[in-house]
Amino acid sequence: MSEDMSRRCFLKSGLLVLAVAITPGALVLMNVSPGAAAPATPFRPHAFVELDADGSVTVWVGQTDLGQGTHTGMAMIIADEMDADWNRVRVRTALAAEPFKDPEWGMQATGGSTSIRHRWDMLRKAGAAARLMLVQAAARQWGVDPAACTTAAGQVRHPDGRSLGYGELAARAAALRVPADPLLKNPADYAVIGTLRRRLDMEDKVQGRTAFGFDFRVPGMCTAVLAHPPRFGARPLSVDADAARQVRGVLDVIPVGDAVAVCAESTWSALQGRDALKINWSEGSHPNLNDEAVNAELLAKLDGPAAVAEDAGNAAEALFAAATVVESVYAVPYVAHAQLEPTNCTAHVEKDRCRIWAPTQGQTAAQDEGVRLCGLPPEKVEVMTTPCGGGFGRRGEIEVVTEAVTLSKALRRPVKVVWTRGDEFAHDVFRPASICRIRGGLDGDGSLVAWSHRLVASSIMSRLWPSAVQNGLDPTSVEGVEGMPYSVPNRRIEYAIPDLPIPVGWLRSVGNSYNCFTVESFVDELAHAAGKDPVEFRLGLMEKDSRSHRTLSLLAEKAGWGGPVPAGRGRGVAVTQCFGSSVAQMAEVSVDGRTGVITVHRVVCAVDCGPAVYPDAIVAQMEGGVVMGLSIALHERVKFAKGGVATSGFSQYRLLGMKEAPAVEVFIAESRHPVGGIGEPGLPPIAPAVANAVFAVTGVRLRELPFSRDALKTAVA
């Protein structure tokens, strides 16, 4: 588990502790070992790397591991540059603190597949600096030139063959200055990066020892479950809590914002107490909202004013002059995160201190909320990130922090707030629904000359960071259309925000999750209209030898594209470039004409994510992205009725089951590119790859998610 480093590192001696301070415009590595010179900055940093006298290495991280294997990957980078003995490396989660803020974002958060790609240099430097200091300490002890010493597996070797373990050198190294620019390894010398390692959290997870936020306990704690408004904008008009208070174990019933909390000695008591509440809710802001109304509003915005995201050449003229024009409308629904560990947070507010334990992806946001609610300075608000049962963007939200801190303040004791599955669906911040109309123009040779794209989707930034929305344009809503890997001389991308009260938020790959479906399906429609092979057509639109070109070529080779396809099956491909990586996927499917059921038999995936730090985690993220993307493509749709969310549980929201999951063959490209993200880019291509494969085998073009069995049944029959 985790501990407060600031206390620890000043209590122990004989160990080397390196920290990172983020100063405006620079990252500064520093030695905060006990006895070493005090750092020259006003920060009181938490450590990054800690080498104990017994030779064990602790890597302290501020990033959230939601299952991506990030913690192990980060430790692997430091260990490799340090030449540490991997068997003596462990990783620990630190309290939220300045040094763990994202060097590019200036806040501590996990999202955008950035944990490693924003820290690649920093982590390598931290490891390399520690190594150099240990070499210097050994060289001094031996009276030899440091350059003559070598390191491997936690030891410094003397030219004559003698060696000293890192642990023996820790105290001496701790007295040295941190080199500002330690020499980094030649990638050919990596011994840990790029290898298969046991994930550091694997044993605990398999033995059931990992305590997630939902499992967190602190002495004196009570558990709270809240009745949240059943409709958008609704408030409790009256609350009859008599029956709830009668439930055995219920301690109190307390309003929190527009919700009503039942606090109890146990989770079951709190749940029963909530069921016993009688609340008269106001009708809310949009009492007539339902699926039809949502759809009508999205459709209405397909025409009329819009923001222009991109305007190159003259798409309107080029379409007018084109030999062939293809036009299609695509639609995708709202999608829920459905991470299996529901939202939760434990808080303990005392006079001079607020402690927050949460499975959070937004440490700085959680800390800020504690500051706001308690009126304490940031250093008195401690945010401890617990292990997370998935997240996918959901855990960047802080409403549950507000609830837990508010309740702990009111009750003067630690309170754990847990959400139920019903709360999770009713109050998610959904992946936006979107409708788009695309027009593409081909010239007489079948070359793509024009692309005109109008898309409608609720804006995430308008809720979270309004200043990022300029002239009605939320850049995250159009990502994947803007930045598609194809060069088209005449392009126009327009975007309109619908007037809907449904909250939207980050969900694994964000705009790419729906824009890749529409763009990559439409590229297939264009290839068909041009009479060209879908892979050839795509490659022809890409800059030769570009990252996407190479990734798609690798996919085609590994999948045996163009080779024989088993009878009754079809193949489709799709490509994405996002989060600093490029991914191409091929799906091989069959369709049962009687039932309309699509079976995905095989998925092949090629990924270029720069240096492959932790290949098994890359494979796992590609597999996971394919499964989640396929689940979204085949099953998922959040429904709305009577002014609120109608979907209330997994009985109405099916996730992809084991028997529907295809085998996924993953190929990692030899890359010449900088390190990229892996958590998100595996998701976008699978839906269009499947749709394109369905078209190949049935001639039916699927333009709506989730894919409709009825439409396929009718069309195939």
Residues that bind another protein (CB under 8 A): 66-69, 198-199, 201-203, 205-212, 214-215, 217, 223, 248, 266-268, 271, 337-342, 387-392, 418, 420-421, 616, 620, 623-628, 631, 649-651, 655-659, 661-664
The residue among 56 and 339 lying less far from another protein, judged by its C-beta, is 339
User: What's the closest the beta carbon of residue 294 comes to another protein, in angstroms?
Assistant: 24
Tokens coding 504: 């939207």
Strands 155-157 and 150-152: antiparallel
* Footprint (CB under 6 A) of ligand FES, residues 51-90: 67
Nearest to 403 by CA among 276, 271, 255, 267: 255
CB-count exposure of residue 108 (10 Å: 0-12, 13-18, 19+): buried
User: What's the closest the beta carbon of residue 266 comes to another protein, in angstroms?
Assistant: 4
User: What's the closest the beta carbon of residue 305 comes to ligand FES, in angstroms?
Assistant: 42
The residue among 248 and 412 lying less far from another protein, judged by its C-beta, is 248
Separation between Cα atoms, residue 521 and residue 526, nearest integer Å: 9
Separation between Cα atoms, residue 368 and residue 377, nearest integer Å: 9
User: What's the closest the beta carbon of residue 400 comes to another protein, in angstroms?
Assistant: 15
The residue among 387 and 498 lying less far from another protein, judged by its C-beta, is 387
Separation between Cα atoms, residue 589 and residue 571, nearest integer Å: 6
- 391 is a site residue for ligand FES (CB under 6 A): no
The entry of ligand FES, another protein, none that residue 267 binds, CB within 5 to 8 Å by partner kind? another protein
3-class DSSP string for 403-469: HHHHHHHHHCCCEEEECCHHHHHHCCCEECCEEEEEEEEECCCCCEEEEEEEEEECCHHHHHCHHHC
Q: Taking CB positions, which residue lies at the least distance from ligand FES? A: 340
Of 390, 505, 643, 662, the one binding ligand FES by CB under 6 A: 390
The entry of another protein, ligand FES, none that residue 396 binds, CB within 5 to 8 Å by partner kind? none
Tokens coding 625: 């992205």
Separation between Cα atoms, residue 228 and residue 236, nearest integer Å: 9
The entry of another protein, ligand FES, none that residue 659 binds, CB within 5 to 8 Å by partner kind? another protein
Tokens coding 697: 């085998």
Separation between Cα atoms, residue 360 and residue 398, nearest integer Å: 8
The residue among 179 and 422 lying less far from another protein, judged by its C-beta, is 422
The residue among 58 and 72 lying less far from another protein, judged by its C-beta, is 72
Number of residues that bind ligand FES (CB under 6 A): 3
User: What's the closest the beta carbon of residue 603 comes to ligand FES, in angstroms?
Assistant: 19
User: What's the closest the beta carbon of residue 605 comes to ligand FES, in angstroms?
Assistant: 19
Separation between Cα atoms, residue 309 and residue 454, nearest integer Å: 10
The entry of ligand FES, another protein, none that residue 207 binds, CB within 5 to 8 Å by partner kind? another protein
* Footprint (CB under 6 A) of ligand FES, residues 1-40: none
Nearest to 47 by CA among 27, 28, 33, 26: 33
Distance of CA 645 to the CA centre of its chain: 24
The residue among 193 and 484 lying less far from another protein, judged by its C-beta, is 193
Q: What is the DSSP annotation of 499-523?
A: -----B---TTTHHHHHHHHHHHHH
* Footprint (CB under 6 A) of ligand FES, residues 317-356: 340
The residue among 349 and 630 lying less far from another protein, judged by its C-beta, is 630
Contact predicate 326/440, CB 8 Å: yes
User: What's the closest the beta carbon of residue 347 comes to another protein, in angstroms?
Assistant: 19
The residue among 202 and 237 lying less far from another protein, judged by its C-beta, is 202
The residue among 390 and 662 lying less far from ligand FES, judged by its C-beta, is 390
Nearest to 234 by CA among 258, 216, 211, 250: 258
Sequence letter at residue 296: A
The residue among 215 and 533 lying less far from another protein, judged by its C-beta, is 215
User: What's the closest the beta carbon of residue 358 comes to ligand FES, in angstroms?
Assistant: 18
Separation between Cα atoms, residue 245 and residue 380, nearest integer Å: 34
Tokens coding 179: 């080199």
User: What's the closest the beta carbon of residue 390 comes to another protein, in angstroms?
Assistant: 5
Contact predicate 429/504, CB 8 Å: yes
Tell me the β-bridge partners of 435.
331, 456
The residue among 271 and 711 lying less far from another protein, judged by its C-beta, is 271
The entry of ligand FES, another protein, none that residue 203 binds, CB within 5 to 8 Å by partner kind? another protein
User: What's the closest the beta carbon of residue 240 comes to another protein, in angstroms?
Assistant: 23
User: What's the closest the beta carbon of residue 616 comes to ligand FES, in angstroms?
Assistant: 14
Neighbours of 714 (CB within 10 A): 12
Residues that bind ligand FES (CB under 6 A): 67, 340, 390
